[in-house]
Amino acid sequence: MLIAGNWKMFHGPDATREFLSAFEPPDGVDVVLCPPYVSLAAALEGPIPVYAQNVHWAHEGAYTGEISAEMLLELGVTGSLVGHSERRHYFGETDESAARRARAACDAGLRVIACVGETEEQREAGHTEMVLRLQVEAIRDALGGAHEHLTLAYEPVWAIGTGRTATPDLAREAHAFVKSILDVPVLYGGSVKPDNAAELLSQPDVDGALVGGASLDADSFTEICRAAVAVRS
């Protein structure tokens, strides 16, 4: 089971080192941290695998502000998120661009957590499965099927940073549907906290969690990791 902490635009290098000094993941769970670019080097000073929050599809080129998979690997980074809903919403990421990023990263040897999920409007309109199918098929087709370095993260957009969480039944149904299209591990992301982690992680087809705000505090992130261990035991 994989627990990934997405720090978004929080924790510079000093705060990253403070977190690492306070956080010790329990045995029995795989943990990765996804800090901002400026904190990657600081995070790599610790023993926990480090993922970037995004990666470009080109090896190099005139792409100001972008970072290639090869650059991340040279730094010592293990993997990257792609297609996070905030990248899609604020920066125009599309299913196609997320899939291109995922393929380039996997081809280069990075591990990838590719994010998929529907908005509240799409769910209310009954379009959840259509949206998930389009997003997952774009990734599947770009990679030519399941890839050993690929993990998906189902993140209902309406549950990210809102305090709202998909019910265990909704999470289970969405994960099963995603796996019916592409059989790879699927994490749940969307307001995962210590008080709901065990129930969510115990659902069939939920293979871990992509944790946002609750991963910024060492104590709360430790509790979520312990919940994952308890579910597996």
- Cβ–Cβ contacts within 10 Å for residue 144, how many? 8
Identify whether 11 is a catalytic site residue: no
Q: CA dist 198 to 88, 160, 167, 206, Å? A: 29, 18, 12, 11
Distance CA 117, CA 136 (A): 9
Identify whether 84 is a catalytic site residue: yes
Burial class (CB in 10 A: 0-12, 13-18, 19+), 145: exposed
Catalytic-labelled residue, pool 84, 86, 93, 175: 84
**203 close to 197: Cβ distance less than 8 angstroms:** no
Q: In what order do the strands lie in the sheet with 208-211?
A: 30-34, 2-6, 208-211, 186-189, 150-154, 111-116, 79-82, 51-52
Q: Which two tokens stand for residue 87?
A: 């990248």
Distance CA 88, CA 98 (A): 9
Q: How far is CA 81 from the centre of its chain?
A: 5
Catalytic-labelled residue, pool 86, 155, 175, 223: 155
Q: Tell me the H-state helices in the chain.
A: 13-22, 40-43, 69-75, 85-91, 95-108, 120-124, 128-143, 168-181, 197-201, 218-232
Catalytic residues: 84, 155
